[in-house]
Amino acid sequence: MLEVREIHTYYGDSHVLQGVSFEVNKGEVVCLLGRNGAGKTTTMRSVMGVVPPREGKITFLGEETTGLPPYRMVKKGMAYVPEDRRVFPDLTVEENLEVAYIAARREGRWNVEVILELFPMLNRLRNRKAGHLSGGEQQLMVIARALMANPAMLILDEPCEGLAPIIVEELEGVIMEIRQEVTILLAEQNAPFALRVSHRGYVIEKGRIKFHGTTKELMENQEIQSRYLAL
């Protein structure tokens, strides 16, 4: 479904991604593991088109999408949950969802009502301004917002960051539920969590992929874990 070939991405003069390649197949949950600053977020942003790579090629659903702006990626069926959540703080929860639904204009299972049913917590908060939600509530809302595009694939950047364990558990449930229908690319520092929800994983370090394998292989590889994941 998604194929990333040798991408190089820069922030100004600094060469962040130095030839990253990986792929995600339909129906999979693939996680990208690595430390803070290893290049996970940049990879996500490159795929989404927020920071287009200078070299390399990205193919999504059989079409080359390198360099397309994010809004075009959304129309093609990619949805994005950024690391720092980025709710629209002055819009209500319902408006946040609604805007995403209108902007993407993709038909499918999800719409505001369906989503609010799936997330009863959001339903209760639907008229609250998103900026006034707690971190966990915001995280759920942002995932819900991404689903409003009825995406074929969902990019989740560090969804667990800064969340209480109880919320992480709930999040895990949500991901387990939606992974039935949506392919997911997930970046996480919380490796145990990532390995629980994913099928396969890649380990990234200094802008390069250092290892990849199934979740099982990753869990068994002590060296990888201590060297790159600081577990």
Cβ 136 to other proteins shortest distance, Å: 10
Cβ 153 to other proteins shortest distance, Å: 14
Cβ 177 to other proteins shortest distance, Å: 21
Measured CA to CA, the distance from residue 25 to residue 184 in angstroms comes to: 9
**Footprint on this chain of other proteins (rule: CB under 8 A):** 12-14, 35-38, 48, 50, 69-71, 74-75, 79-80, 82, 86, 88-91, 95-96, 98-100, 102-105, 132, 134-135, 145-146, 148-149, 161-165, 190, 192, 205-206, 225-227, 230-231
Of 7 and 100, the one with the shorter C-beta distance to other proteins is 100
Of 25 and 84, the one with the shorter C-beta distance to other proteins is 84
Of 25 and 113, the one with the shorter C-beta distance to other proteins is 113
Cβ 27 to other proteins shortest distance, Å: 23
Of 25 and 231, the one with the shorter C-beta distance to other proteins is 231
Measured CA to CA, the distance from residue 29 to residue 201 in angstroms comes to: 9
Cβ 143 to other proteins shortest distance, Å: 12
- Tell me phi and psi for residue 155, to 5 degrees: -105, 120
Of 57 and 132, the one with the shorter C-beta distance to other proteins is 132
